[in-house]
Structure 1
Amino acid sequence: MELGAPLAGVRVVEFASFVAGPSAGLALAQLGADVIRVDPLGGNVDHRRWPLSTATGESLYWNSLNREKRSVALNLREQAGRDLLLELATAPGPDAGIVVDNAVGRDWLAYDALAARRSDVISVKVQGRADGGGAVDYTVNSSSGVATMTGPADSSDPVNHVLPAWDLLCGQQVVSAVLAALRRRDRTGAGAQIEIALADVALAAVADLGWYSEAAERGDRVRHGNHLYGAFGVDFATADGDHVMVAVLTPRQWVALGTATDTAESLAALADSTGSDLSTDEGRYAQRAQIEALLAPWFAARSTSDVHSALTAAGVLWGPYRSTAQVAADFAANPGGEPVLARLDQPGIGPVISANSPMRIDDAYSGTRPAAALGADTEAVLREVLGHGDADVARLREAGIIAV
């Protein structure tokens, strides 16, 4: 029997910009929820965010994060537009009344305003800081301490990474919050007011790794460049000038690395001369520079293809370095090579590289659907969810509350 998508029938109203909230909405939609994204007329502040398509000028970012959702655009400067958003967020139904937003400081969308219309509403609000202050991924990362741990060993300058990791992690916290609150409501009938601060997500994650406790005991960690901390792992250059990343986390992987590179005897001699137990993470970490020096000539003397083949055959834990352009080119040459990726025809842009949900449910990927044009579903949603007739829709059009 076909069970269908796990969240089929669940309706979520999303009023959020940038990455955390929209990434949560995308994940919920990929699980089958009907996610209705609401934007102001003309688009929210992220509607034109880079990267843009060189062919059409449309935002690749916006159209990627907002696929799978329905799009409603309202004049939120007017009370009538705000009322429509509140009505959508609190519309009846056992699997409705769920809103995800990052509208901090907008009292008209506060939990009390929602709960006054529906007592069991589930409200998940993304904030910058728990005290109400503003923050984004890049300011949160800088204050978490991670930027001072990242970068070349011979530099003391902070290094930002380009991945909005805290935003993406926050988005998954939002998904967890929605599912937990929905489960509780199903059991007790109670709604939920949930607030998730981006800064809290970052601080909690770093604390959960033990890094702050380490700093309290030992002070700031010395930078290691591309070396792993507490184990052996580093990148090596091949004869072609490419790089591969090698990591050793188990005794079996250590033996495999010595076998693949014909250095088992040399590594044993290093262990004897230094008195280090290279079968342990601690021993390999302490001798990481010497191990790297012993292994580097083997990589430098071989082509990238030969290195890949030898490492794979021996069971070494390794990965190639690829630019985003190389990933795109590899996908074009072999679309099935990375099955989580998918080619998608995005209206207004053309063919793009999209993605399925990384969750494989019943051994299948989710599939992917394009983003709707801004406001494309406004009238349909008002009719379907709120029961507005043609006269109501025409009146809202004439009043400038919805777009023509």
Structure 2
Amino acid sequence: MYQLLNDLSIIEVSSFVASPTAGLYCAQMGAEVIRVDHKAGGLDYDRYMLTKEGRSLSWENLNRAKKSVALDLRSGEGRELAVALAAKTGNCITNLPEKSFLSHDAMKAAQPAGAPDMTSVRIMGWHDGRQAMDFTVNAAAGYPLMTGPEEWDMETAPPVNQVLPAWDFITGAYCAFAMLAALRQRDATGEGSEVRVPLGDVAIGTLANSGTMAEMLFRGGDRERLGNAIWGAFGRDFRTSDGVRFMVAALTPKQWAGLVKAFDVAAPISALEAETGEDFASGDRPRFEHRHALFDIFQKVADGLDYAALSARMAAEGCTFEKYRTAHEAANDPELVRDNPLFGPSPPNPSGFEYPATRSFANLPGREPGNPAPAPFLGEHSEEVLAERLGLSSGAIGALVDAGTVALSDKDSR
């Protein structure tokens, strides 16, 4: 954790992936992020996969470095406490509906004198209020029908969903940025902001920003499936004589020259250039348009070499390539994990399971990143936060606990 945001406190009332990701990225930069959940846990508290003790590994990793307050969010008093925490702090990230008890107007109306003007970031489904989640907006954006083997028929072949909920993570990252942008404006003007970020707009907006929307409108139809080939450039998966699959990409003149040299294919490439009238060193277009003939040339070489030999040649020429790994292999790869400064030692996780944990993705040379912080137990900081933020006495908090409005740590409950 870097301490770039250690003067910032954020109340997070969220579940699933996008909203917790926004809070996580702020926490990893030093912000105090206080996650407020229903006392039995939010909708994501038991998200698969669970340890044998019933602890969610997803929840544990998306909530590192945060504090946890557990309230009865189905009761009026519990909701009032959540609103009061957000109002007093002045900063809130949530994916609750705008018409819920935690509306921006409700938080702003509850602000005490001297509180910073309310700034909230709210993740929505679609801009018109319809519900959405990663896999449904992905379907709407068209990407699953661009994915799959090249020989599949465009009209009858099924869609192929991506495994990673990428739109959730992109939205979470965008919301962390949006929160800091709104806070910068408040620092300059004193005025807070209500920021709404629809998950669906992130997906369809990315389709537009990438140029893909313009491409579809320009061509008047859909892009063909390409299998594992890279659209508009040279790149694909290949397989060596010992059965190892690897991905190669050559988007720059240097990458292309290195690949030609590593595979020792200058002669057949020159012959193909003479046949087609193209100069494959001139850019992406000719390499992409003649990709099938080029793929055959490179695959023929890969057929005669094992991966150790070919990867050594590619590394020597500065090629851009990686061997395909399973996720289990990646998690155990020393280069990716053990020797990567991104990862630190296992903190005392609520699950009790020890494994490498990430620091901030950003690396600030000359600054100490610190070791990864643990996720909290649900309700671990209820008493501390209510006392410090709302000025409640221990007796008042005890009465709220006895009434079931506030829950304390569930450390020993599983």
Aligned equivalent of 2:313:
310
Uncovered stretches (5+) of structure 2, i.e. residues with no partner? 409-414
Aligned equivalent of 1:368:
372
Aligned equivalent of 1:319:
322
Task: Give the conservation status (yes or no) of the 8 Å contact 2:60–2:350.
Answer: no
2: distance between equivalents of 1:116 and 1:58? 37
Task: Give the conservation status (yes or no) of the 8 Å contact 2:331–2:337.
Answer: no
Give 1:105 deviation, angstroms.
Answer: 5.2
Give 1:85 deviation, angstroms.
Answer: 0.6
Query: SS where residue 249 of structure 2 aligns?
Result: strand
Query: SS where residue 90 of structure 1 aligns?
Result: helix
Aligned 1:334-373 pairs, distance under 5 A: 335-344=337-346, 345-363=348-366, 364-373=368-377
Give 1:386 deviation, angstroms.
Answer: 1.2
Task: Give the conservation status (yes or no) of the 8 Å contact 1:174–1:196.
Answer: yes
Task: Give the conservation status (yes or no) of the 8 Å contact 2:182–2:192.
Answer: yes
Aligned equivalent of 1:16:
14
1: distance between equivalents of 2:326 and 2:345? 19
Query: SS where residue 35 of structure 2 aligns?
Result: strand
Range 30-39 or range 146-155, more displaced:
146-155
1: distance between equivalents of 2:392 and 2:365? 39
Aligned 1:242-261 pairs, distance under 5 A: 242-261=244-263
Aligned equivalent of 1:403:
407
Aligned 1:26-45 pairs, distance under 5 A: 26-45=24-43
Q: Which ranges of 4 or more aligned residues in structure 1 deviate by more than 6 Å?
A: none
Give 1:75 deviation, angstroms.
Answer: 0.4
Range 291-300 or range 131-140, more displaced:
291-300
Task: Give the conservation status (yes or no) of the 8 Å contact 2:98–2:104.
Answer: no
2: distance between equivalents of 1:348 and 1:227? 40
Q: Does 1:287 align with 2:256?
A: no
1: distance between equivalents of 2:286 and 2:279? 5
Uncovered stretches (5+) of structure 1, i.e. residues with no partner? none
Query: SS where residue 99 of structure 1 aligns?
Result: strand
Task: Give the conservation status (yes or no) of the 8 Å contact 2:56–2:351.
Answer: no
Aligned equivalent of 1:116:
109
Question: What is the TM-score when the length of structure 1 is the normalising length?
Answer: 0.94
1: distance between equivalents of 2:289 and 2:253? 16
Query: SS where residue 124 of structure 1 aligns?
Result: strand
Q: Does 1:149 align with 2:146?
A: yes
Range 241-250 or range 341-350, more displaced:
341-350
1: distance between equivalents of 2:185 and 2:143? 35
2: distance between equivalents of 1:134 and 1:107? 14
Give 1:87 deviation, angstroms.
Answer: 1.2
Question: What is the TM-score when the length of structure 2 is the normalising length?
Answer: 0.92
Task: Give the conservation status (yes or no) of the 8 Å contact 1:357–1:367.
Answer: no
Q: Does 1:222 align with 2:224?
A: yes
1: distance between equivalents of 2:355 and 2:379? 21
2: distance between equivalents of 1:12 and 1:22? 12
Aligned equivalent of 1:381:
385
Q: Which amino acid aligns with 2:373?
A: R
Residue by residue over 1:376-400, the C-alpha shift from the partner in whole angstroms, topping out at 9 and shown as x without a partner, is 1101111111111111111101111
Residue by residue over 1:265-309, the C-alpha shift from the partner in whole angstroms, topping out at 9 and shown as x without a partner, is 111111111212211211111111111111112222222222221
Residue by residue over 1:358-383, the C-alpha shift from the partner in whole angstroms, topping out at 9 and shown as x without a partner, is 10123454531111111111011111
Q: 1:231 aligns with which of 230, 233, 237?
A: 233
Query: SS where residue 135 of structure 1 aligns?
Result: coil
1: distance between equivalents of 2:3 and 2:41? 30
Count of matched residue pairs: 395
1: distance between equivalents of 2:181 and 2:216? 34
Q: 1:126 aligns with which of 119, 123, 126?
A: 123
Counting aligned pairs with the same residue, the percent is 38
Aligned equivalent of 1:69:
66
2: distance between equivalents of 1:57 and 1:108? 30
Q: Does 1:392 align with 2:390?
A: no
Task: Give the conservation status (yes or no) of the 8 Å contact 1:335–1:342.
Answer: no
Q: 1:97 aligns with which of 82, 90, 94?
A: 90
Task: Give the conservation status (yes or no) of the 8 Å contact 1:359–1:366.
Answer: no
Give 1:334 deviation, angstroms.
Answer: 8.1
Give 1:341 deviation, angstroms.
Answer: 2.6
Task: Give the conservation status (yes or no) of the 8 Å contact 1:255–1:264.
Answer: no
2: distance between equivalents of 1:335 and 1:30? 18
Give 1:60 deviation, angstroms.
Answer: 0.6
2: distance between equivalents of 1:51 and 1:306? 39
2: distance between equivalents of 1:247 and 1:395? 63
2: distance between equivalents of 1:89 and 1:369? 23
